[in-house]
A and B are shown apart, each in its own frame.
Chain A
């Protein structure tokens, strides 16, 4: 496993050898920047109702507003500037994706490490729960959870964490078990190094990289799942739309030719997920060719 040892420079150089992956990386960087800087980049704050004008609703791309602002990507049915809505929507989608994946990763990491170290009935119990969780499709679990808890950004993150953590727990446990059997761990135990220290400073660094790669791709999955749940009306509230909700919102207008209401958010979603996947794939190829 070269992950823990390869210097970053070498990694970057070999990553850059794949042109498509390089383009994807830059695209992802641009998208992340756009998401972070949305409040400064967007011509309009789409959440501030005082800035919206219903009389500007459903304008085609390039139309001028009554206030002289140009709607480069058109407006939606509330008179929201689509460009601003997409920037803010990207922020929410990416935010939800990263937050839920990070939380799930933290939870899965903890559970997996505990299971691997503790063994016995604790291991058994954790792994049974993991098995159960994994035997149910993510969308079904998330759907039931959201239907019962209601809409909201916190609820959807919770649902996405619930459906993702088990996957990490299992991967981490397997990797940690391998590490724990290695000689250096035994040596450390003999030298009287504390258990927590072994886990944190020896096992964790070796377990983390492959899981991180998986997590990259999982962010894309989480974003896609959020979009689908929002489409079913179970995701986010309409006042602060994610990309998925923007697409769902424009879905009704597709047949009538007002393609821009869902086409551009769809494009943004597509670009984000494709970029994350390409970057994740390349990292996986480089760091851990056998994991795929």
Chain B
């Protein structure tokens, strides 16, 4: 528990540093009002709007105001949308999480079997083509893959929709699209695009782990006992390699959420990554800061869950001793 608390404290410290950075950065770049305001506005109107948003105050005063508000849970109102920044983020969060989780699901369900295949028969042509695939998967830029998939599956074949999010249904009050047919059709391409890199990573991890495990004594004993190859894999290899893989997969979820920024831009997916890019474009400072806060909290949560999962999978680890 102290570990969790310490981690929380450090994350909050990071957030503090990052919010300072964002404040100083936006302050240095320019006045958001210049970007947002109607061009016909004159100097007096620009000054009036700037003062209304408190942007005419010295930087330290602006930050102090934000800091006081943040302590009370108020991260400020979006300059562009006039809605609390945190509301904007929370509104978009389900779409991003849905995308990231589906991508992870794709990466895990394909990556582990493929990696296992490649690890068990490393010299076979199948293993070699799987590895070639993963190398290419590592190299392909996400945005390029996204457009290629749109061209083939949406424009040419007409099987799947090009962009956007499908019909949503409320699950415990959260609008999710993964439970409708239309939603899944919209989800497939962006999730695949996002999954590709992690798929390549998981293939490599599983292969390395499998190769490693096959050399271990317990596998040799199991074989000596006369267990079939599939039984060896099922009851000895898999459980042993699964622990690090689950850990990595969990930790990589955070990076998936961040990488979703690119995928969301290509597929016009209404998630928080796209919101971040739009907010950077108009220097909507409260939203940028709120995005950072939200991701930091998500990462803490994910790390916690991974630790718990680790403890469940590996009985040797007692919670709290990490």
Do A and B contact each other directly (Cβ–Cβ < 8 Å)?
A: yes
Interface residues of A (CB under 8 A from B): 128, 131-132, 135-140, 143-144, 147-150, 220, 224, 227-228, 231-232, 244, 247-248, 251, 254-255, 262, 266, 269-270, 273-274, 277-278, 281, 292
Is there contact, CB below 8 Å, between A270 and B140?
Answer: yes
Question: Which of B22, B24, B136, B141 is close to A224, meaning CB atoms less than 8 Å apart?
Answer: B141
Number of residues on chain B facing chain A (CB within 8 A): 42
Contact yes or no, B147 A251, CB < 8 A:
yes
A137 touching B141, Cβ below 8 Å: no
A149 x B25 contact (CB < 8 A): yes
Q: Nearest Cβ in chain A — how far from B209, in angstroms?
A: 9
- Determine whether the beta carbon of A228 is less than 8 Å from that of B143: yes
A281 to B135, CA, bound (A): 10
Partner pick for A148 among B29, B208, B265, CB 8 A cutoff: B29
Question: Are A139 and B21 touching (Cβ within 8 A)?
Answer: no
Alpha-carbon distance A211/B254, docked complex (angstroms): 25
Question: Are A232 and B151 closer than 8 Å at their CB atoms?
Answer: no
Considering the chains assembled together, what is the distance between the CA atoms of A141 and B223 in angstroms?
48
Is the Cβ of A136 less than 8 Å from the Cβ of B299? yes
In the bound complex, CA of A255 to CA of B147 (Å): 9
Q: Which of B294-322 contact A (CB under 8 A)?
A: 295, 299, 303
A228 and B140 contact, Cβ closer than 8 Å, known pairs A135-B11, A148-B28 = no
Q: How far is the CB of B259 from chain A (nearest CB, A)?
A: 6
Query: Are A137 and B255 CB-contacts (below 8 A) given A227-B141, A266-B144?
Result: yes
Shortest distance between the CB of A128 and any CB in chain B (Å)? 6
A274 touches B26 (CB 8 A): no
A147 touches B25 (CB 8 A): yes
A144–B18 touching, CB < 8 Å = yes
Contact A147 B280 (CB under 8 A): yes
When each residue 133-165 of chain B gets 1 if its CB lies under 8 Å from chain A and 0 otherwise, what string results?
A: 001101111111001000100010000000000
Q: Do A228 and B142 touch (CB < 8 A)?
A: yes
Looking at the assembled complex, report how far the CB atom of B24 sits from the nearest CB atom of chain A, in whole angstroms. Answer: 8
Which residue of B10, B135, B208, B265 has the most chain A CB atoms within 10 A of its CB atom?
Answer: B135
A131 near B10: Cβ-Cβ < 8 Å: yes
Map CB proximity to A onto B238-259 as digits: 1 under 8 Å, 0 otherwise: 0000000000000000110111
Q: Which residues of B contact A (CB under 8 A)?
A: 10-11, 13-14, 18, 21-22, 24-26, 28-29, 135-136, 138-144, 147, 151, 155, 204, 208, 254-255, 257-259, 261-262, 265, 276-277, 280, 288, 292, 295, 299, 303
Query: Which A-chain residue is minimally distant from B200 (CB atoms)?
Result: A277
Q: CA of A231 to CA of B268 in the docked complex: distance in angstroms?
A: 15
29 sampled A-B residue pairs with Cβ under 8 A: A135-B14, A135-B299, A136-B258, A136-B295, A137-B254, A137-B255, A139-B255, A139-B261, A140-B258, A144-B18, A144-B21, A148-B22, A220-B139, A224-B139, A227-B141, A228-B142, A228-B143, A231-B262, A232-B277, A251-B147, A254-B151, A270-B136, A270-B139, A270-B140, A273-B138, A273-B139, A274-B135, A277-B138, A292-B208
Known contacts: A137-B259, A139-B255, A143-B261. The answer to whether A251 contacts B22 by CB under 8 A is no
> In the complex, which of the residues B135, B136, B147, B303 contacts A254, with contact meaning CB atoms closer than 8 Å?
B147
Instruction: Give min CB distance, B189 to chain A, whole Å.
Output: 16
Alpha-carbon distance A254/B152, docked complex (angstroms): 12
Instruction: Identify which of B24, B141, B255 contacts A269 (C-beta below 8 A).
Output: B141
Q: A135-B11, A140-B295, A273-B138 are in contact. Are A232 and B262 (CB under 8 A)?
A: yes
A272 to B255 Cα, complex, angstroms: 24
Instruction: Tell me, rounded to whole Å, the shortest Cβ–Cβ distance linking B181 to chain A.
Output: 27
Contacts of A150 in B (CB 8 A): 29
Q: Which residues of A contact B29 (CB under 8 A)?
A: 148, 150
> For residue A270, which residues in chain B have a CB less than 8 angstroms away from its CB?
136, 139-140
* Closest 4 pairs (CB-CB, A-B): A148-B25, A137-B258, A273-B139, A137-B255
What is the bound-complex CA distance between A147 and B21, given in angstroms?
11
Residues on B with C-beta less than 8 A from A149 are 25
Known interface pairs A135-B303, A137-B255; A228-B141 also in contact (CB < 8 Å):
yes
Give Cα distance in the complex from A251 to B266, angstroms.
Answer: 11
CB nearest to B299 among chain A residues: A135
Residues of B with C-beta under 8 A to A147: 25, 280
Report the minimum CB–CB distance from A265 to chain B (whole Å): 10
When distances are taken between beta carbons in the complex, the residues of chain A under 8 Å from B151 are: 254-255
In the complex, residue of chain A having the shortest beta-carbon distance to the beta carbon of B141: A227
A232 and B10 contacting across the interface, CB-CB below 8 Å: no
- Inter-chain pairs besides A224-B138, A254-B151, 7 sampled, C-beta below 8 Å: A135-B254, A144-B288, A150-B29, A220-B138, A224-B139, A228-B141, A266-B141
**Once bound together, how far apart are the Cα atoms of A251 and B26, in whole Å?**
29
For residue A223, which residue of chain B has the nearest CB?
B139
Chain A residues positioned under 8 Å from B261 (CB to CB) = 139-140, 143, 232
Bound: A228/B151 CA distance, A: 20
Interfacial chain A residues near B140, Cβ < 8 Å: 270
Indicate whether A247 sits within 8 Å of B138 (C-beta atoms), given known contacts A128-B10, A132-B14, A139-B258.
no
Complex contacts, B26 vs chain A, CB 8 Å:
148
